[in-house]
Amino acid sequence: MIADHKWLWPLVAAVALLQSVAIAKIVYDRDALLKSGREITIDVVPVDPRDIFRGDYVILGYGLDPIDGKLIAPDLQETIRSNDPVFVTIRPGATPATWQVVKVTAAYPDTIEASDAVLKGRVTWVNAQQDENRKLSVRYGIENYFVPEGTGRDLEQAVRDGKVQAVVAVGGDGTAALKGLIVNGERRIDPPLL
């Protein structure tokens, strides 16, 4: 440890400041995305009937997975691998909160229909063989909903009963942020921090 060094206090301040700025930057970016992003609502479906509630967060499924391999863009068919970043274009189905995947592309698509939304995600798995049965799964970073300790079970039951919708803010670059949930028609959304 540095002791009796003329740079001691400037260095202490620099370290504390840089770490605080890093945290503030994440907060600022997220808040901006939640405020300015386009708001869409997606039906939440139970993902794993055994244990969707794990400790302090509930795992949310969106019924988009598994995605049909035919929806992968032609230029991506050969090269797509698990953990690759992809852009998934979704379109409202029977209800405004029921979405269907339209296509999976390597970059943000040039043209989309007005009702479409584009989500940036990462491939969790994809079948290697390119045949009729090819499927893939994508994570969008909005699959975990953190809840106060001990309150997860009620929410889990509501998810099983199909009474939960997710409110998602989608940024211009496809980044998705979970704003909150609609449980039994009641909006549960944390206000922006700043």
Identify which range of 20-28, 35-43, 86-94, 153-161 contacts other proteins by CB under 8 A: 20-28
Give the one residue of 40, 80, 177, 182 binding other proteins; rule: CB under 8 A: 177
DSSP strands (E only) in the chain? 38-43, 53-54, 57-59, 67-68, 85-92, 99-105, 117-126, 135-139, 144-146, 164-170, 176-183, 186-189
14 is an interface residue for other proteins by CB under 8 A: yes
Minimum distance of other proteins from residue 151's CB (angstroms):
9
Do strands 53-54 and 57-59 pair parallel, antiparallel, or not at all (unpaired)? antiparallel
Identify which range of 16-24, 61-69, 130-138, 153-161 contacts other proteins by CB under 8 A: 16-24
Q: Is 34 strand, coil or helix? A: helix
Given the complex with other proteins, which of 42 and 177 has the nearer CB atom? 177
137 is an interface residue for other proteins by CB under 8 A: no
Give the one residue of 11, 36, 75, 162 binding other proteins; rule: CB under 8 A: 11
How far, in Å, CA of 128 to CA of 36, rounded? 38
Q: How far apart are the first and last CA of the chain?
A: 37
Residue count at the site for other proteins (CB under 8 A)? 42
- What phi and psi, each to the nearest 5 degrees, are found at residue 187? -75, 125
Q: How many CB atoms lie within 10 A of CB 90?
A: 22
Identify which range of 40-48, 88-96, 130-138, 146-154 contacts other proteins by CB under 8 A: 146-154
Contacting residues toward other proteins, per CB under 8 A? 1-5, 8-9, 11-16, 18-20, 22-23, 26-27, 30, 34, 55-57, 82-83, 122, 139, 141-149, 177-178, 190, 193
